[in-house]
Structure 1
């Protein structure tokens, strides 16, 4: 992702055809360790293509991907509520047991 992001930043900055040297320079200036094989792979895949067209094509593909529904989210909410009750019970038990750990209670 970092190599693609660097490529896209360079195109946004006006470089319509960033090369491996430009991508590497951008990443190293940000303190990122660069794998030259990955940079070359990104350059190879994107060279000669219009970035705006690639983004539009990707957005249309993402639009067809299901994003889930309300039923799983409701189930997760119910599970979280049940989990919160269990945590509350555990806290109460810890408070009761904390006096026992000291070897004496307040009213013993």
Structure 2
């Protein structure tokens, strides 16, 4: 990815046709190691192509990739429905923990409303 970024930075800098030396210089200027094989592969793949067309094509391909995000939490059950019961008890445990914390503050005399006895 850093090789692609270096290529795009060279283009943005006004270099219409970056070469391996240009990409190596950009990468070394930020302390990144330049992988000659990756640089040569990228340059070979982009040779004679318009970068805007390549980016547009990639955007189309990326748009067709499923991104997950479809719903709620999936709970694996042990066959007897125990998973659902465990999932239902999880919020209760959090509520109890919160209540205990509030009570401990009051016991220390640091109550919010100053109910000192």
Give the TM bin, normalised by the shorter chain: 0.5 to 0.7
Distance in structure 2 (CA, Å) of the matches to 1:70 and 1:60: 21
Deviation at 1:69, TM superposition (A): 3.1
Report 1 or 2 for greater relative contact order, CA contacts < 8 Å, sequence distance ≥ 6: 1
Is the CA contact (8 Å cut-off) linking 1:11 and 1:18 kept in structure 2? yes
In structure 1, the residue matched to 2:26 is: 26
Provide the aligned length of Structure 1 versus Structure 2: 85
List aligned pairs for 1:41-60, cutoff 5 A: 41-60=41-60
Pick the structure with more helix per residue: 1
Alignment correspondent of 1:64: 64
Question: What TM-score, normalized by structure 2, do the two folds share?
Answer: 0.61
User: Partners in 2 of 1:33 and 1:16 — Cα distance?
Assistant: 23
- Runs (4+) of structure 1 exceeding 2 A deviation are 82-85
Larger radius of gyration: 2
Q: Under a length normalisation based on structure 1, what TM-score does the superposition of the two structures give?
A: 0.66
CA distance in 2, matches of 1:69, 1:38: 33
Unpaired segments ≥5 residues, structure 2: 75-86, 102-117
Preserved CA contact (<8 Å) 1:10 1:18: yes
